[in-house]
Amino acid sequence: MNFKNVTVAGSGVLGYQIAFQTAFHGFKVSVYDINDEVLAKAKAKFFELSECYKRDISATQEQLDNTFNNLSYYSNLAEAVQDADLVIEAVPEDVAIKTEFYKQLSQFSPAKTVFATNTSTLLPSQFSDLTGRPEKFLALHFANLIWVNNMAEIMGHDTTDKQVFEDLVQFAKAIGMVALPVYKEQPGLILNSMLVPYCVSALELWINEVSDPHTIDKTWMKSFGSPKGPFAILDIIGITTAYNIAKLHADVNPIMARIKERLENEFINQNKLGLPTGQGFYSYPNPAYESATFLKG
Ligand code: NAD
């Protein structure tokens, strides 16, 4: 693995975390986004993130200073990738946006550059023909709160070079991730293939009034000694994402249509979006599931 210069495209929820984590581990990182206004927001978020690194993983001021020195910012794609060994794409989960992005990226990138997509639900083979280097293209999927939930799934497609796959496994480890190889293309990779049905089952119990969210979570937590149940997880993912997934399937799946309606009326329209707004199935900070009495009665 010979990567030194990494470009992260898209500085939203996941992109700015990937950029910071990569810079924290000593790589030179070019942060690319569509305009300077969005990049300014990313810069501000890096300062907030450095406080989390101090609190959660005892990062020193020297490590954080080095991290900031490793970061540079671009709103011009050609400049952002001119010497990139690896581009990690974290642009929105939208086929049209990703398609247009890969068309441009393939034009501007040097031949050496490996492309990795952070997609949660799409497949590398959907975009491989656009990259101009299908053998150097694969998925590298991170989890939200990357510095503590430090895992990365690595998934190629039929013609991904085996050495490139191995290089990405090594890169994931080099930036502090537990590297999780996926051997066959699968929408949702490993994590979301399990997580989406799990959360949908819990939501179905709730909309069918089989039980209430806190009782459903308690059932899971008590049975497996798990620190969180599905509704706590939904709050962390964000109710907006759950709502968007339900909306996607609402036309063909009546259960998803009902989940969508309940989430819309009781959460989305009231700005109860989970952890991002401090109110979802639980209230934050100090959600009930973290209290000592939650599992007592
Ligand atoms: P987001 O909407 O928060 O951020 C997307 C960013 O991309 C924004 O800053 C936007 O300005 C930028 N952008 C839009 N068009 C662009 C373009 N053409 N070129 C460059 N930048 C562009 O999205 P997100 O939640 O960070 O998701 C990004 C990717 O990461 C998606 O593929 C998603 O599936 C994946 N992902 C998200 C999560 C999560 O928890 N949010 C977890 C794992 C993976």
Q: How many CB atoms lie within 10 A of CB 156?
A: 24
Do 164 and 227 belong together in one domain?
Answer: no
Minimum CA distance residue for ligand 1 atom 9: 12
How many angstroms is it from 297 CA to the middle of ligand 1?
41
Residue 294 lies in a domain: no
Q: Which positions of the chain have pLDDT values less than 50?
A: none
How many angstroms is it from 296 CA to the middle of ligand 1?
40
Q: What angle do CA 59, 60, 64 make, to 5 degrees?
A: 80
Do 199 and 66 belong together in one domain?
Answer: no
Say if ligand 1 is within 6 A of residue 153 CB: no
Closest residue by Cα to residue 93 from 248, 233, 249: 248
Residue 144 lies in a domain: yes
User: pLDDT at position 65, please?
Assistant: 98
**H-helix segments, the chain:** 15-24, 36-57, 61-69, 77-80, 95-108, 162-174, 191-207, 213-224, 230-237, 239-249, 254-266
Q: What is the pLDDT of residues 248-263, one digit of tens each?
A: 899 999 999 999 999 9
Residue 293 lies in a domain: no
pTM for the predicted model, two decimal places:
0.91
Q: What is the pLDDT of residues 147-174, one digit of tens each?
A: 999 999 999 999 999 999 999 999 999 9
Do 228 and 202 belong together in one domain?
Answer: yes
Residue 152 lies in a domain: yes
Do 46 and 106 belong together in one domain?
Answer: yes
At 138, which CATH number?
3.40.50.720
At 253, which CATH number?
1.10.1040.10
Say if ligand 1 is within 6 A of residue 126 CB: no
User: pLDDT at position 248, please?
Assistant: 85
User: pLDDT at position 13, please?
Assistant: 87
Residue 297 lies in a domain: no
The number of folded domains in the chain is: 2
Residue 185 lies in a domain: no
Say if ligand 1 is within 6 A of residue 151 CB: no
Q: What whole-number distance in Å separates Cα of residue 80 and Cα of residue 9?
A: 9
Residue 32 lies in a domain: yes
Say if ligand 1 is within 6 A of residue 15 CB: yes
Say if ligand 1 is within 6 A of residue 93 CB: yes
Do 166 and 199 belong together in one domain?
Answer: no
The pair of three-digit structure tokens given for residue 175, joined into one six-digit string: 């930036």
Q: What whole-number distance in Å separates Cα of residue 166 and Cα of residue 136?
A: 11
Pocket test residue of 31, 34, 123 for ligand 1, highest count of atoms within 8 A of CB:
34
User: pLDDT at position 126, please?
Assistant: 97
Q: What is the pLDDT of residues 204-250, one digit of tens each?
A: 999 999 999 999 999 999 999 999 999 999 999 889 989 988 998 99
| 163-169 long-range Cβ contacts below 8 angstroms, 24+ apart | 164/114, 164/135, 164/136, 164/138, 165/138, 166/1, 167/1, 167/2, 167/3, 167/114, 168/114, 168/116, 168/138, 168/140
Q: Give the full edge-to-edge strand order of the sheet including 28-32.
A: 71-74, 28-32, 5-9, 86-89, 114-117, 137-142, 151-155, 178-182
Residue 295 lies in a domain: no
- Residue pair 240/234 in contact (Cβ under 8 Å)? The answer is no
User: pLDDT at position 155, please?
Assistant: 98
Do 103 and 41 belong together in one domain?
Answer: yes
Residue 272: domain span: 191-288
Residue that finishes a domain, picked among 180, 200, 223: 180
- Residue pair 14/144 in contact (Cβ under 8 Å)? The answer is yes
Do 62 and 209 belong together in one domain?
Answer: no
Do 125 and 236 belong together in one domain?
Answer: no
Residue that finishes a domain, picked among 161, 180, 199: 180
Residue that finishes a domain, picked among 153, 180, 207: 180
- CA atoms within 13 Å, Cβ hemisphere of 153: 25
Closest residue by Cα to residue 268 from 235, 243, 233, 236: 243
Say if ligand 1 is within 6 A of residue 38 CB: yes
User: pLDDT at position 1, please?
Assistant: 83
Do 143 and 18 belong together in one domain?
Answer: yes
- Residue pair 118/18 in contact (Cβ under 8 Å)? The answer is yes
Say if ligand 1 is within 6 A of residue 244 CB: no
Do 196 and 160 belong together in one domain?
Answer: no
User: pLDDT at position 152, please?
Assistant: 98
Do 147 and 100 belong together in one domain?
Answer: yes
Do 56 and 199 belong together in one domain?
Answer: no
User: pLDDT at position 174, please?
Assistant: 98
Pocket test residue of 31, 95, 120, 126 for ligand 1, highest count of atoms within 8 A of CB:
120
- Residue pair 109/140 in contact (Cβ under 8 Å)? The answer is no
How many angstroms is it from 208 CA to the middle of ligand 1?
33
Q: How many CB atoms lie within 10 A of CB 216?
A: 20
User: pLDDT at position 121, please?
Assistant: 87
Minimum CA distance residue for ligand 1 atom 44: 120
Position of tokens 């491989």? 128
How many angstroms is it from 130 CA to the middle of ligand 1?
19
